[in-house]
Amino acid sequence: MLVLSGIMVMAVSGLIFIGCTKEGPQGPAGANGTNGKDANATCTLCHNFGDTVIVKIFQYDASKHASASTIIEAARSGCSGCHSHEGFLEKLQTGSSVTQAYNDAAPINCRTCHTIHSTYTPADWALRNVEPVHPYIDSTSSIDLTVTIPGGTDGTSNLCGKCHQARKNTPWITNPKGTDSLAVTSTRWGPHHGPQFLMLAGKGAFEMGSSACGTSNHKGNATCRNCHMGPAQGESVGGHTLTMSSAETGDNVAACRPCHSSIGATFDLNGRQTEIAGLYQTLKVKLAQKNVLDTINNVLKGPISATKPKKFTQIQLSVYWNYCMVDADRSMGVHNYVYTRDMLNAGIAYMNSLP
């Protein structure tokens, strides 16, 4: 990124040169701005000697998004829609969760989320897509987590949620309380890694308890950015690192303070993370005791393969799915305390009812 400003000066002069060829030969490009072209003026609203953009670039480079690991899966169709820039744009265009494989793909970058270089003005900082999310697990439904803020709305959660959601699986649960069996062909059956948007929304769990899961209302008050892009400390937490905590800084509770003024040094507000971690551990043990969970690999207990499917009742798979949701969510109840608590308790109650 340090080379950017150098490339920039060349590119800016290049652009002006191309822009001028119609009018005849052009002399050597002058220093930034001395050719007096309008395009240059709007370019420099972002590309200038100020630090705003540079700060964001360095923070973002430290994020997991910008890491090579994110992009590996771009070369697989069906994965690229969330693991690459190109796949994401394809998904937005087609509205389909089925995306092509991309080699030489770009990682999720500035222009995945912003409309960079579309008008070449600061209006290009606009977020690319904040439309409601049609979740993969039920694409006919629509979830809108836009929050009203002073002077407008914040649709960040809908942007992030287009990727941070569960995936659909085969076989699919049709009756969460069903005691009939489904034949599963992979130990990796489950919601996949990033169901955070669904958790925030209070959606995506299979409800098999005696009463429906309740929900906390972070979704009506905070978007992903309020917490994940809170006050930054270097390239460790906050801002465009999207990171919540680090070894150097601990938990970035500065992000919570505007709303929870008395929060301590950790995210464990009211002991809720401790409580959820306890319920999670209890359910984990019970699932393992009943041969549903392989605790070493944290997958369904095998042997399971395409040629050797294993049968689980729908209700058992529902409990397992919800366990995976909490596991993959990784906020231990912060995204949605009540929803997380209720789905874990319902699972524990069911497991306790087994002989």
Residues 281-310 interacting with ligand HEC (rule: CB under 6 A): none
Peptide bond into 231 cis (omega under 30): no
Contact 142, 133 (CB under 8 A): yes
Q: How far apart are the C-alpha atoms of 3 and 110, rounded to whole Å?
A: 17
Question: Encoding tokens for residue 105?
Answer: 């793909």
Q: Which stretch binds ligand HEC (CB under 6 A): 21-29, 187-195, 205-213, 297-305?
A: 187-195
Region 304-343 residues binding ligand HEC, contact defined as CB under 6 A = 330-331, 333-335, 337
Residue 81 binds ligand HEC, judged by CB under 6 A: yes
Region 223-282 residues binding ligand HEC, contact defined as CB under 6 A = 224-228, 240, 242-245, 255-256, 258-260, 267, 269-270, 272
Among 62, 137, 143, 160, binds ligand HEC (CB under 6 A): 160
Residue 72: CB minimum distance to ligand HEC, A: 7
Query: Is the Cβ of residue 260 or residue 311 nearer to ligand HEC in the bound state?
Result: 260
Query: Is the Cβ of residue 177 or residue 192 nearer to ligand HEC in the bound state?
Result: 192
Residue 139: CB minimum distance to ligand HEC, A: 11
Region 98-117 residues binding ligand HEC, contact defined as CB under 6 A = 108-110, 112-114, 116-117
Q: How far apart are the C-alpha atoms of 154 and 221, rounded to whole Å?
A: 10
Sign of CA dihedral 217, 220, 225, 227: negative
Phi-psi region of 174 (alpha: psi -120 to 50; beta: other; left: phi over 0): alpha
Residue 75 binds ligand HEC, judged by CB under 6 A: no
Residue 134 binds ligand HEC, judged by CB under 6 A: no
Which residue in the block uniquely carries the two structure tokens 């729908």? 314
Among 9, 53, 101, 288, binds ligand HEC (CB under 6 A): 53
Cα 261 to Cα 185, 254, 265, distances in angstroms: 49, 9, 12
Residue 193: CB minimum distance to ligand HEC, A: 4
Which residue in the block uniquely carries the two structure tokens 């006050």? 231
Longest dimension (CA), the chain: 88
Task: Count CA atoms closer than 13 A to 149's CA, side-chain side.
Answer: 12
Q: In a 10 Å sphere around its CB, with 0-12 CB exposed, 13-18 middle and 19+ buried, how is residue 23 labelled?
A: exposed
Task: Count CA atoms closer than 13 A to 259's CA, side-chain side.
Answer: 13
Residue 174: CB minimum distance to ligand HEC, A: 21
x-marked contacts with ligand HEC along 4-43 as a string, rule CB under 6 A:
x--xx--xx--x-----------------------x--xx
Q: Which stretch binds ligand HEC (CB under 6 A): 17-25, 26-34, 186-194, 304-312?
A: 186-194
Q: Which stretch binds ligand HEC (CB under 6 A): 23-31, 61-69, 312-320, 342-350?
A: 61-69
